[in-house]
Amino acid sequence: MDEITYDKVLEESNPKIKQLYWNIAFGLQDVDGLKPSKYMKELSEEHIQGKKTYQEVQNEITSYYSKNNNHVYDDEEEADEVATAIYEILCDKSFRFDFITFKNYHKRLFINLDKKIYNPGEFRIYNFIKDEQILKGDTVQYQSYDLIEESLKYDFNEEKEIDYSKFNEEELINRIVEFTSRIWQIHPFQEGNTRTTAIFIQKYLISMGFNINNELFKENALYFRNALVRANYTNYSKGIRETNKYLIMFFENLLLNKNNKLNNDELKIELDK
């Protein structure tokens, strides 16, 4: 009887794909206004050119921030550490659709950062608000902390029953938008919810065989976050209702290669009218 063997998944070797994944990893930091350091960009270039392995890049950036005992945690450290983790997840061919994977992605993204700020891979234990520039300082109403796990399980179980093969293009986009908006509104983590959601949704769509325009997350990460804000914000006293239209435009570009103009200024609302 012939033994069935498995092939080890090797590190990505295509320079174009490596360049794309690093661009996405850097671009997603825009959701929090973060930029990678010059050193991180230099390391990524060496990796793209085949001069360093991914593991060498990861080890060097971690060592760079830990070797100085007087180092103070800053935005560049966060951007660099999270970017290396995003690259690794994008290259990882494995995927399982459940909220445990979603939770694990958060842990992988923020494991090397301040545990008090991120509490990597753990759900928040308090309620919070967040001033949004596009809402003139108002906030989305996020799920109560004591309902996080129950809400995620409900949304994931419901999504598992969806058969996308039976949907037309409009139905497909609407469903993806609805699921993405729901898990983001739960905001299960203290920080890093949008980046975790973005990576999970990318991996989910790829796992189902969809061809996605990866360039979109590189160039429109902030638009993606603001579209999620608008999909979950209502203020009836000001005549403002939650709308999915901006997320729909994003996902139409992502999945259907449409050319909707994604303009952040159009997502801003006027509360003083």
Which architecture does CATH list for 123-273?
Answer: Orthogonal Bundle (1.10)
Q: In this structure, are residues 228 and 194 in contact, taking their beta carbons and an 8 Å threshold?
A: yes
pLDDT band at 273 (very low <50, low <70, confident <90, very high): very low
List, in sequence order, every residue forming a beta bridge with 240; answer none if it has no partner: 235
Cα dihedral 203, 206, 210, 214, rounded to 10, equals 70
The reported pTM is 0.91
Identify which of 44, 114, 23 has the alpha carbon closest to the alpha carbon of residue 75: 114
- Cα separations in angstroms, 128 against 157, 232, 259: 26, 15, 36
Return the pLDDT at 4: 61
Residue 202 main-chain phi, psi, to 5 deg: -55, -50
Average pLDDT value for the chain:
91
Specify the domain boundaries for CATH 1.10.3290.10 within the chain: 123-273
Return the pLDDT at 68: 62
Identify which of 143, 141, 132 has the alpha carbon closest to the alpha carbon of residue 269: 132
